[in-house]
């Protein structure tokens, strides 16, 4: 077997692995949507939800440290709160709109980086400041809506 043939087989193997991994990831994310929708429906009616992203990915909560992994789940915004439903039950985070102190974009959080804009939400609970960064499909829409809620603007204009 020539070097060119070996390189070709390696490239083909890498392509196959990437395709299989991509398909498997999409299948797993799709299978999570039903249980996440059910958990959201147990907390909020459809008329309460201003924004929802079932493919949200948390880069972690600052106070929990750098050793925590990323977390897949759903992010829901109502007029009263921002609620991250992590796929693993018991790890949800609910922050009232009044507790949010800053909304910004970042490309890294707790040692985890990406080329995409992450929505970083800084909040204060009982005098302690914390933050979470999330990968979302439309981070700008989330930032604008949360800033609108903080400023007391109407929330009828959903993206």
111 vs 78, residue with greater confidence: 78
Q: Is the pLDDT of residue 136 over 60?
A: yes
* Strand 128-135, strand 51-61: pairing: antiparallel
pLDDT for the residue numbered 23: 46
pLDDT at position 8 is: 64
- Secondary structure (H, E, C), the chain: CCHHHHHHHHHHHHHHHHHHHHHHHHHHHHHHHHHHHHHHHHHCCCCCCCEEEEEEEEEEEHHHCCCCCCEEEEEEECCCEEEEEECCCCCCEEEEHHHEEEEEEEEEECCEEEEEEEEEEEEEECCEEEEEEEECCCHHHHHHHHHHHHHCCCCCCCC
Query: Average pLDDT of 132-138?
Result: 94
- The burial class, CB within 10 Å (0-12 / 13-18 / 19+), for 37 is middle
pLDDT in tens, 39-52: 999 999 999 999 99
Kindly indicate whether the domain formed by 3-151 is annotated with CATH number 2.30.29.30. yes
What CA–CA distance (Å, rounded) separates 116 from 75? Answer: 17
Highest mean pLDDT among 1-10, 27-36, 63-72, 90-99: 90-99
Q: Rounded mean pLDDT of the chain?
A: 82
Q: What is the pTM of this model?
A: 0.75
């Amino acid at each position: 077997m020539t070097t060119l043939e070996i390189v070709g087989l390696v490239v083909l193997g890498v392509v196959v692995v990437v395709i299989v991994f991509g398909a498997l990831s999409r299948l797993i994310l799709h299978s999570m949507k039903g249980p996440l929708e059910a958990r959201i429906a147990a907390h909020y009616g459809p008329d309460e939800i201003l924004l929802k992203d079932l493919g949200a990915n948390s880069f972690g909560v600052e106070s929990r440290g750098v050793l925590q992994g990323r977390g897949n789940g759903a992010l829901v915004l109502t007029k009263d709160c921002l609620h991250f439903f992590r796929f693993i039950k018991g790890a949800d985070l609910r922050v009232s709109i009044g507790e949010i102190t800053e909304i910004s974009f970042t490309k890294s959080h707790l040692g985890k980086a990406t080329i995409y804009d992450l929505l970083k939400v800084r909040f204060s609970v009982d005098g302690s400041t914390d933050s979470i960064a999330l990968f979302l499909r439309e981070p700008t829409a989330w930032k604008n809506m949360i800033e609108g809620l903080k400023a007391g603007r109407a929330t009828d204009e959903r993206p």
